[in-house]
Structure 1
Amino acid sequence: MFGTQNHPDKRLAEYRSNLTGIKHRYRLTPMRPRPNQPITVHVTTSGGIPYDVVRCWINETAFDLGADKTEWSALEWRYVQHWQRKIPPQPSGTLLNYRLGGRVAGSDTWIFADNQARTKSAATEFAIAIDDYEIPEWARTAVIYHIFLDRFYPGDDVPWKKPTNLSGFFGGTLRGAIQKLDYIQSLGCNAVWLSPLFASPSHHGYDATDYDTVEPRLGTNAELHELIAEAHRRGIRVIMDFVANHWSNRHPTFQAAQQDADSAYREWYTWHRWPDEYASFFGVKGMPQLNLMHKPARDALLACAQRWLRAGIDGYRLDYAPGPPRLFWAEFRKACKSVNSDAFLFGEVVSHSEVIASYLPHFDGCLDFLLADALRKTFALETWTLQAFEAFLAAHENYFPGGFALPAFLDNHDMTRILYLAKEDKAKVRLAALVLFTLPGAPILYNGTEVGLSQRNPLGRFEEARLPTPWGDAQDKTLLAYFRRLGELRSQFPELSSSKREIAHLNINTGTYAYHRGPVLVALNTSRVPRTLNMAVPNLSDTAQELLNGHPVEVSGDVVRISLPAQSGAFIA
């Protein structure tokens, strides 16, 4: 899930790199500055270079930071100097651009954060949008259904195609998605996230050739507008997958840039050696990376995002968010919110909490890969104990401010299906899903997970996790009913998206665990034998019942008693 970050030596290298040189890494107080609020900028310096001045430039105005605390790094076996400075409050609507640099002591040489450039013009350009926008209220209580279009549903009376390999086209369409909106609504989902749907040569669509035209295999622009209208008629929001970092090498602008050295589009890309060597998405030549420090390229994407918001799209899942520069994301936030202040913008940032939190000034939230990893390790793989899970969860919930959304999930199109990970044990999936649906982050349900879709082989390639969604008798109706009930309960108890969670019971020897949030008590038995839990839970209603599986529950004063079969859970309210 975390790529090179899975390896301790890579994590150590990142940690050491973050300590070396002059670094800012979007360390601000507060983490998301508001209008007319003082902003403290934080910088560290370390390594073999002494600095006598650290400076912040905002346009042509310079502010010198003051030396703050000095820390000893036992790992690096040297000191780390902290610097900070309050900069003036900024009015609402400001796009704050700034650079930071340090003067090497005894010289006129400057080194700039974070890229260690030696000239200000080449320095990292930091940027944040100053505004009062909060997470859209609808996003706080969202239950999101993730549709991977080519693999979701081809349409009524339309058979699946039979490609020769998993990279081929299976035939899912927008018409099929429209016809299944009632099904999605029956799951308690009030939002859909559509995989990329623009013109593209691939089944996944993350390599688009035209951001204004729907891929003909999937349908038409008219059908996309129909889907938006039909979803809205049902109270379902529509989230589009927006890829800003890269697109197809068949995109007309790239074709023009590659064929003509004098093309106006040449600067839209970063060329190592024109015309055949260029920056691309993880070295994939078919996905050239856009140079979003080039204003015309930025403006083209911003205009596209605004057009689709005006067409009724309710938000964007922002693919590979660490790829584009923060200047782009600051402008993106401002551009999108100016069209629809209720648009939900959340990023795909597959990293640790410190990196995720650095996106607070740019997004409404980020996908919660850390929680997904914890859920999978605890309930599917069982490599984490319940104690380890609770330790993670307690810290995780306290780390991020309440104004930052963390949509959560069990699996997605780029990772092993949770059922396959659990060795086809659906009881493990049910336990993980119960926890997912009773934590604050908006639950995301990847199409097929709710009906027992697994995969044939280990995840040697992403396509293994993208098998077509089964329908009719091929679905596990019992599991489907379970997910529908979870969705219903999530809707019935909106406190689940906001109430503070408190642990009620934890016993790693018996494999039992419980917590309560507002009026809801969640209890789990992960062991392979029946267990009875006796818990002290203040303020639970004397008439509380187990609403998920119908297990008998006794409430006497502040004491709750429930007997749970092996590998089962309870939702008590």
Structure 2
Amino acid sequence: MLSRPHHDGSALYVSTQAPTPGESVRVRVRVPHEADVREVHVRQVTDGEPEFRALHEISRSDSEAWWEGEVVCHNPVTSYRFILEGGPGGYQWLNGTGLHERDLPDAADFRLVTYQAPPEWSLDSVVYQVFPDRFARAAGRPPIADSAPDWALPADWDDAVSTEPDTVARQLYGGDLDGIGEHLDHLERLGVTTLYLTPFFPARSNHRYDAETFDAVDPVLGGGEAFRRLIAEAHRRGLTVLGDLTTNHTGDSHEWFVAAQADSQSPEHDFYLYDESGDYVSWYGVKSLPKLNHDSEGLRERMFDTPQAGVQKWLAGPDGLDGWRVDVANMTGRWQAQDVNHRVARHLRDVVVDTKPDALLVAEHCHDHSQDAMGDGWHGVMNYSGFTKPLWTWLRGKDFAPRFLGSPLRVPRLGGGAVAAMMNEFGAIVPWRSRMHSFTLVGSHDTTRVRTLVGDDAAQVVVAAGLLLTMPGIPMITYGDEIGMEGVWGEDGRRPMPWDESRWDADLFEAYQQLIRARRDLEPLRHGGLRWVHTSDNSLVYLRETEGETVMVHCARAADEVQVPATHLAGVESARVVVGNALQHNGSHVTMSAEGPAVSIWVWSHEG
């Protein structure tokens, strides 16, 4: 695989990650000699019309040549690909999915974007998702049964999670924000850098995606003072904090919706959508979740545009959030003929950045996000399609096949070649910068837990964590995955965090610590490109590269041995082991082996 010409959007191949309008950006292509390439041109699309520029060879070694040319960022999004003279037919295109000997659409072209760059700190993040009701309850706080709201069914911390339709959202364990604050040591011990909280607004459910207001913190969680204490303590420890905002809908007890239902002439009536019969529209027909109308100027002002609006209020000041994850972002502003999704995303981005210039904005998105992640709105998405689902199809247990987020069919079990192809194809549909600022995740509070996904072989969880923490993107860990918590589906996985460490998988916790430490220590794992070395049914091997350093990763789902030529691995003879097994090098070939499911990581330095 290393004998193919290669380009990606990383700094090794693109001269700037934050081009400005009109800027000429230097782009480079790595061309192994066996590819037999004699000419390279870049084809960019300018104002809708393709144009070509020649690349020139700038360096040559015993194994490869580097070619360099220019792409001019004439438009906010500039797509480009390369045409190469040479190879078997003398005619090849190189785009985001690789090398092709035929013409093909522009959908997978590389892209440069001139929109304001995402915050620099985010690429160095490891995110830890917490579901507040189930993480921790502050020491000394009275039992939840003494203060539960009228909608709730109080539960003791060790009670089993109810998954019955009429009780699943009402069961309340009483986790709170001060409880999270008391366990920030756990996040530091694990090594994560960013705390992501699912909603903290008052609501009539344990998940709180049915907000009653965006102006307050749920008293059940401790209220606004507990929120400020938690953010202040997290920041004191060097942790960033993300909140969770629902822009698609509110709860039916939200103050706006109550006013809208009481008076059809009220300003709030226009905040919601209504069907032909005059009934309000709701998310997927769930009547407790009325859908917002983003054509309403009043809604835009109350939700986004004033210092008192929820988006700004909880970001502002030193003890404010460091960004938002946006719930149901892909459906926001879309209903029948209405589609103002991109306008909402751009406006929200402007408001967020104006309020806190280095804030991060990540959108929930569960399928093809090519039209929604060009970089002018969301900084990135939750990359379910390009990471989670491919990983599931490779690592799911042979006797357990979950359904993926509403699919009527269970996910297949596929080999590594298909998994790499899926990752490539979904990675190529958006700019490299959007991919790098998207969450990679093996699961979330909405999905099967990874420990349950893999079946009987717990070592597969380490393989999943290895992929999570070494692939491009911002890794997100759901609370409890690091200790082996289980869950067949989303609500079943929202179990209370067990704080008795005798109930933890200690080896798994140590493996997560080691992999997180590797990511934080090795710049290529955070900022490098991605080049595949080998794929087979049971192994994935790839490089993450920066100008001065290369990291090679071998993830195996079963016992396997991989041998590859050392020709295009310059400097590999000096590789040191970071995680896993030693690398065998005989001068002409490199051999990596796994006795069972395992992850190995090696690093070496080299000249640029």
Q: 1:308 aligned to 2:311?
A: no
- Of 521, 524, 533, the residue aligned with 1:492 is 521
Tell me, in whole angstroms, the C-alpha distance in 2 between the residues paired with 1:423 and 1:151: 24
Deviations 1:412-446 (A, max 9, x none): 11111122122242222211210111111010000
Deviation at 1:399, TM superposition (A): 3.4
Structure 2 equivalent of residue 337 of structure 1: 353
- Of 459, 468, 472, the residue aligned with 2:496 is 468
Structure 2 equivalent of residue 547 of structure 1: 578
Deviations 1:74-97 (A, max 9, x none): xxxxxxxxxxxxxx989xxxxxxx
Q: 1:351 aligned to 2:367?
A: yes
Deviation at 1:541, TM superposition (A): 4.9
Deviation at 1:525, TM superposition (A): 2.7
Tell me, in whole angstroms, the C-alpha distance in 2 between the residues paired with 1:37 and 1:523: 41
**3-state DSSP of counterpart to 1:210:** coil
Query: Residues 150 and 170 of structure 1 are in contact (CA less than 8 Å); yes or no, is this contact kept in structure 2?
Result: yes
**3-state DSSP of counterpart to 1:238:** strand
Greater relative contact order (Cα < 8 A, sep 6+): 2
Deviation at 1:288, TM superposition (A): 0.9
Tell me, in whole angstroms, the C-alpha distance in 1 between the residues paired with 2:377 and 2:48: 28
Deviation at 1:532, TM superposition (A): 6.0
Q: 1:506 aligned to 2:535?
A: yes
Question: Structure 1 residues 33 and 285 mapped into 2: Cα distance closer, same or farther (>3 Å)?
Answer: farther
Q: 1:216 aligned to 2:246?
A: no
Structure 1 equivalent of residue 98 of structure 2: none
Q: 1:538 aligned to 2:553?
A: no
Question: Structure 1 residues 334 and 553 mapped into 2: Cα distance closer, same or farther (>3 Å)?
Answer: same
**3-state DSSP of counterpart to 1:524:** strand
Deviation at 1:140, TM superposition (A): 1.4
Deviation at 1:360, TM superposition (A): 2.9
Structure 2 equivalent of residue 425 of structure 1: 457
Tell me, in whole angstroms, the C-alpha distance in 2 between the residues paired with 1:400 and 1:212: 35
Deviation at 1:543, TM superposition (A): 4.2
- Stretch of structure 1 that moved more, 319-328 or 370-379: 319-328
Deviations 1:24-50 (A, max 9, x none): xxxxxxxx9987569xxxxxxxxxxxx
Structure 1 equivalent of residue 125 of structure 2: 142
Tell me, in whole angstroms, the C-alpha distance in 1 between the residues paired with 2:540 and 2:256: 55
Counterpart AA for 1:287: L
Deviation at 1:160, TM superposition (A): 1.8
Counterpart AA for 2:300: R
Deviation at 1:563, TM superposition (A): 3.2
Query: Residues 137 and 178 of structure 2 are in contact (CA less than 8 Å); yes or no, is this contact kept in structure 1?
Result: yes
Deviation at 1:392, TM superposition (A): 2.1
Deviation at 1:535, TM superposition (A): 5.2
Question: Structure 1 residues 262 and 187 mapped into 2: Cα distance closer, same or farther (>3 Å)?
Answer: same
Counterpart AA for 2:245: F
Tell me, in whole angstroms, the C-alpha distance in 2 between the residues paired with 1:175 and 1:208: 21
Q: 1:438 aligned to 2:446?
A: no
Deviations 1:320-353 (A, max 9, x none): 1122233222221111111222111111122214
Deviation at 1:274, TM superposition (A): 8.1
Structure 1 equivalent of residue 82 of structure 2: none
Tell me, in whole angstroms, the C-alpha distance in 2 between the residues paired with 1:256 and 1:211: 15
Tell me, in whole angstroms, the C-alpha distance in 1 between the residues paired with 2:281 and 2:377: 24
- Of 227, 232, 235, the residue aligned with 1:232 is 235
Structure 1 equivalent of residue 486 of structure 2: 454
Tell me, in whole angstroms, the C-alpha distance in 1 between the residues paired with 2:178 and 2:474: 26
Structure 2 equivalent of residue 478 of structure 1: 507
Question: Structure 1 residues 36 and 531 mapped into 2: Cα distance closer, same or farther (>3 Å)?
Answer: closer
Deviation at 1:308, TM superposition (A): 1.4
Number of residue pairs aligned between Structure 1 and Structure 2? 448
Structure 2 equivalent of residue 152 of structure 1: 135
Structure 2 equivalent of residue 173 of structure 1: 176
Query: Residues 21 and 114 of structure 2 are in contact (CA less than 8 Å); yes or no, is this contact kept in structure 1?
Result: no
Structure 2 equivalent of residue 384 of structure 1: 414
Structure 1 equivalent of residue 280 of structure 2: 278
Deviation at 1:488, TM superposition (A): 0.6
Counterpart AA for 1:485: Q
Counterpart AA for 1:251: H
Counterpart AA for 2:443: D
Deviations 1:178-210 (A, max 9, x none): 111121122221111100001111000001112
Tell me, in whole angstroms, the C-alpha distance in 2 between the residues paired with 1:428 and 1:194: 27
**3-state DSSP of counterpart to 1:202:** coil
Structure 1 equivalent of residue 88 of structure 2: none
Tell me, in whole angstroms, the C-alpha distance in 1 between the residues paired with 2:75 and 2:18: 9
TM-score (norm 2): 0.69
Tell me, in whole angstroms, the C-alpha distance in 1 between the residues paired with 2:372 and 2:388: 14
**3-state DSSP of counterpart to 2:215:** strand
Structure 2 equivalent of residue 289 of structure 1: 291
Query: Residues 161 and 169 of structure 1 are in contact (CA less than 8 Å); yes or no, is this contact kept in structure 2?
Result: no
Tell me, in whole angstroms, the C-alpha distance in 2 between the residues paired with 1:409 and 1:147: 14
Query: Residues 212 and 254 of structure 2 are in contact (CA less than 8 Å); yes or no, is this contact kept in structure 1?
Result: yes
The 5 A counterparts of 1:41-52 are none
Tell me, in whole angstroms, the C-alpha distance in 2 between the residues paired with 1:376 and 1:232: 34
Query: Residues 520 and 526 of structure 2 are in contact (CA less than 8 Å); yes or no, is this contact kept in structure 1?
Result: no
Query: Residues 243 and 318 of structure 1 are in contact (CA less than 8 Å); yes or no, is this contact kept in structure 2?
Result: yes
Tell me, in whole angstroms, the C-alpha distance in 2 between the residues paired with 1:564 and 1:246: 48
Structure 2 equivalent of residue 526 of structure 1: 557
Structure 1's unaligned 5+ residue stretches are 1-31, 39-65, 70-87, 91-129
Deviation at 1:572, TM superposition (A): 1.5
**3-state DSSP of counterpart to 1:414:** coil
Identity of aligned residues (%): 27
